[in-house]
Amino acid sequence: MQRNRSKRYRAAVGQVDRTKAYNLPDAVSALKKMPSTKFDQTVTVSCRLGVDPKQSDQMVRGTCPLPHGSGKQVRVLVFAEGQAAKAAKDVGAEFVGMKDMIQKCQEGFQDFDVAIATPRQWRKFENWERYLDRVD
């Protein structure tokens, strides 16, 4: 069954030659000429590396940090006191504290994405399984 494509999609397909292999500068310039979308765009890059994936010493895995991040705002909770708390606040942690944050979390506060504790405070969190969501 034939799908009806939008004008924007048909304009983008008309600008690309699917039989041609583009080098990186040409591919980036072609992407920038494409019509913009109303959502966050994704680009898939395929590279031929010449490795044998069956060989364990030739496995290729990794991540690539984006220059402007992923676009998601991460809310960080830091359990710290004193100078460590001040340093966490300076680098942009949203929630910083020790006793007040422990009390708040025990009451059900979970409006954060990442929780960090200084090594001196780790033993205070030994039995926190019931307060934290299980991550699968």
Rounded average pLDDT per 10-residue block, the chain, 136 residues: 80 85 86 81 79 79 71 85 90 89 84 83 73 52
Q: What is the pTM of this model?
A: 0.47
Task: Say which DSSP state 53 is in.
Answer: T
